[in-house]
Amino acid sequence: MCGECGCGEREEIAVHKHILEDNVLKAEENRRIFNSNNILSINVMGSPGSGKTTLIEVTASSLTDINIGVIEGDLETSIDAERLKGKCKSVVQITTGNACHLDADMINKALESMPLGELDILFIENVGNLVCPALYDLGEHIKVVILSTTEGEDKPLKYPVMFKKADAVVITKYDLADVLNFDLEKVINNIKKVNKRADIVVTSYKNPESWINFLKGKIKLAIPS
């Protein structure tokens, strides 16, 4: 695990503060790169298995006239990047080894190998984790936190830092809601307890329209025609 969890000694905490300050500068550099290339960038965060890669996959299948780039973050393997290759314009895998989050410098290096002038949207799929990815600005325009029906309704209360940072919370696998006794009203209330401004989008692999419409609205704002 990384040291940002706050379990370190005082000296370590000072080092981490420094790391976070450096990260802010790199994030600003990334944001300048996104803006100068007219790329809408989206940081996708959520637990392992919540449906982050699937959401990107569905987006690529639905918006075929949009050029999508993806940076995939995982501890190991390029399984997710392989899944998306051929469906997206450009896919880069970052393997973090021990680090349980992506930072702005990793993104900055990945951008060097991407055809930035050709991209409309860049998805950054963060490492599956509801804790420290929330602490690292990557320079993205939108932070999306995914919560699948299989995770239950209590996660926004248990991981408030992550949900507080979200611009949008996407509830995935909603087609399983009945089987799981998932209470949508309860989860929406829990999200609102920690974050009143986030958009809430309810979606599933088979029925992704609400997510696609949400995204189309964001594209229009970022890239006015």
Query: Cβ closer to Mg ion: 128 or 156?
Result: 128
The CB-of-133 to Mg ion minimum distance in angstroms stands at 13
In angstroms, the CA 207 to CA 189 distance is 23
53 binds, among Zn ion, Mg ion, none (CB under 5 to 8 A by kind): Mg ion
Q: Which residues, 6 or more positions from 114, have their beta carbon under 8 angstroms from its beta carbon?
A: 69, 71, 90, 92, 122
Query: Cβ closer to Mg ion: 4 or 125?
Result: 125
How many beta carbons lie within 10 A of that of residue 170, not counting itself? 28
The CB-of-159 to Mg ion minimum distance in angstroms stands at 18
Query: Cβ closer to Mg ion: 53 or 67?
Result: 53
Are 92 and 108 spatial neighbours (Cβ–Cβ below 8 Å)? no
Residue 166 CA to chain centroid, in angstroms? 9
55 binds, among Zn ion, Mg ion, none (CB under 5 to 8 A by kind): none
Instruction: Assess 132 for contact with Zn ion (CB under 5 A).
Output: yes
Query: Cβ closer to Zn ion: 137 or 153?
Result: 137
Query: Cβ closer to Zn ion: 114 or 162?
Result: 162
Of residues 34 through 73, those in contact with Zn ion by CB under 5 A are: none
The CB-of-129 to Zn ion minimum distance in angstroms stands at 7
In angstroms, the CA 34 to CA 28 distance is 10
The CB-of-53 to Mg ion minimum distance in angstroms stands at 3
Of residues 95 through 114, those in contact with Zn ion by CB under 5 A are: 100-101
**Site mask for Mg ion (CB under 5 A), range 68-97, x = bound:** ------------x-----------------
Instruction: Assess 53 for contact with Mg ion (CB under 5 A).
Output: yes
Total chain residues near Zn ion (CB under 5 A): 4
Query: Cβ closer to Zn ion: 8 or 210?
Result: 8
The CB-of-132 to Zn ion minimum distance in angstroms stands at 3
Given the rule CB under 5 A, which residues bind Mg ion? 52-53, 80
Given the rule CB under 5 A, which residues bind Zn ion? 2, 100-101, 132
